[in-house]
């Protein structure tokens, strides 16, 4: 194996276990095939390598075995396309299986060990390392924030040249088991961007106040956003966080970093 900078993509079907309980094993396998096929095509079209399917999850990486220019941007483009494809696919899945699926996607970029992994007689071409685990953790957090895509600051940094990608900052966190904080972002496709364009600057204003330690002012804005957008988990999460920080002020200096204690 070799150490190489790569971008890792993890995607997962939400509440898949619950969904599986209502379906026969044959139908589960058929549904997964219907889902994996178009998703794999999108990843490959963007020069990604499918590492493995883990139950309902997809693990893929970019920039190995072959070098891929702008691999971070390729992974971001894949993620947006996967969600757009899923909207179309869900119409078919609803007809065929009476089911629709939602997914979460996590992206991170960094150095990992790339090569044939396994035992002497059974191995596969894969990636391992801390940055791979971090990508998986980031994907796990999509549920907590109620977002479809979450990505790290390393991805944003790698996409600096691509002006067409418009990232929205979400949080600064320490994920479970890690000490170094990372900043999390999301990205919307054009249709979603139009949908959220009024909210995004208001959310960013509230987030700035939160980072400045002005929790009461931030909470007021988050509460206002909740009234207008009751379904948005993100605003509720921040309003609750502000309320608890008002009751129990954080240690100074406040760095705005939230430590996740669960995966």
Tell me: the pLDDT tens digits for 160-181? 988 889 899 999 999 887 888 9
Residues 250 and 224 in one domain: yes
Indicate the average pLDDT of the chain: 95
Any domain includes 192: no
Any domain includes 226: yes
Residues 176 and 257 in one domain: no
Any domain includes 193: no
Name every residue whose Cβ is closer than 8 Å to that of residue 15 and which is 6 or more positions away in sequence: 102
Residues 124 and 223 in one domain: no
Number of domains composing the chain: 2
Any domain includes 89: yes
Report the 3 state secondary structure along the chain.
Answer: CEEEEEEEEEEEECCHHHHHCCCCHHHHHHHHHHHHHHHHHHHHHCCEEEEEEECCEEEEEECCCCCCCCHHHHHHHHHHHHHHHHHHHHHHHHHHHCCCCCEEEEEEEEEEEEEEEECCCCEEEEEECHHHHHHHHHHHHHHHHCCCEEEEHHHHHHCCCCCCCCEEEEEEEECCCCCCCEEEEEECCHHHHHHHCCHHHHHHHHHHHHHCCCHHHHHHHHHHHHHHCCCCHHHHHHHHHHHHHHHCCCCCCCCCEEECCCC
Any domain includes 35: yes
Mean pLDDT value of segment 59-77: 97
Residues 165 and 221 in one domain: no
Q: Which of 146, 162, 186 is the last residue before a domain boundary? A: 186
Any domain includes 75: yes
Q: Which domain holds residue 246?
A: 198-263
Mean pLDDT value of segment 96-104: 96
Residues 176 and 227 in one domain: no
Mean pLDDT value of segment 105-124: 95
Mean pLDDT value of segment 239-245: 97
The pLDDT of residue 81 is above 70: yes
The pLDDT of residue 71 is above 70: yes
Percentage of the chain with pLDDT > 90? 86
Q: How confident is the model at residue 263 (pLDDT cuts 50, 70, 90)?
A: low
Higher pLDDT, 195 or 89: 89
Higher pLDDT, 198 or 246: 246
Q: Which of 160, 186, 212 is the last residue before a domain boundary? A: 186
């Amino acid at each position: 194996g070799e150490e190489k900078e790569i971008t890792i993509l993890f995607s997962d079907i939400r509440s898949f276990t619950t969904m599986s309980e209502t379906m026969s094993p044959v139908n589960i396998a058929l549904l997964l095939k219907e889902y994996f096929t178009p998703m794999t095509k999108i990843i490959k079209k963007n020069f990604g390598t499918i590492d493995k399917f883990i139950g309902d999850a997809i693990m893929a990486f970019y920039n190995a075995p072959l070098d891929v220019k702008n691999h971070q941007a390729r992974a971001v483009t894949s993620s947006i396309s996967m969600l757009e494809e899923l909207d179309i696919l869900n119409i078919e899945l609803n007809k065929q299986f009476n089911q629709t699926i939602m997914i979460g996607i996590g992206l991170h970029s960094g150095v990992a060990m790339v090569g044939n992994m396994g035992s002497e007689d059974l191995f596969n071409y894969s990636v391992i390392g801390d940055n791979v685990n971090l990508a998986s953790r980031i994907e796990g957090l999509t549920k907590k924030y109620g977002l479809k895509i979450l990505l790290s600051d390393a991805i944003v940094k790698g996409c600096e040249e691509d002006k067409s990608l418009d990232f929205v900052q979400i949080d600064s966190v320490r994920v479970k088991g890690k000490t170094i904080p990372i900043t999390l972002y999301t990205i919307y496709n054009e249709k979603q961007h139009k949908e959220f364009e009024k909210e995004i600057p208001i959310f960013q204003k509230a987030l700035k106040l939160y980072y400045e330690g002005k929790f009461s002012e931030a909470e007021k804005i988050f509460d206002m956003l909740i009234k207008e957008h009751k379904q948005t988990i993100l605003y509720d999460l921040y309003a609750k966080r502000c309320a608890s920080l008002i009751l129990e002020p954080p240690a100074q200096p406040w760095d705005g970093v939230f430590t996740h204690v669960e995966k």
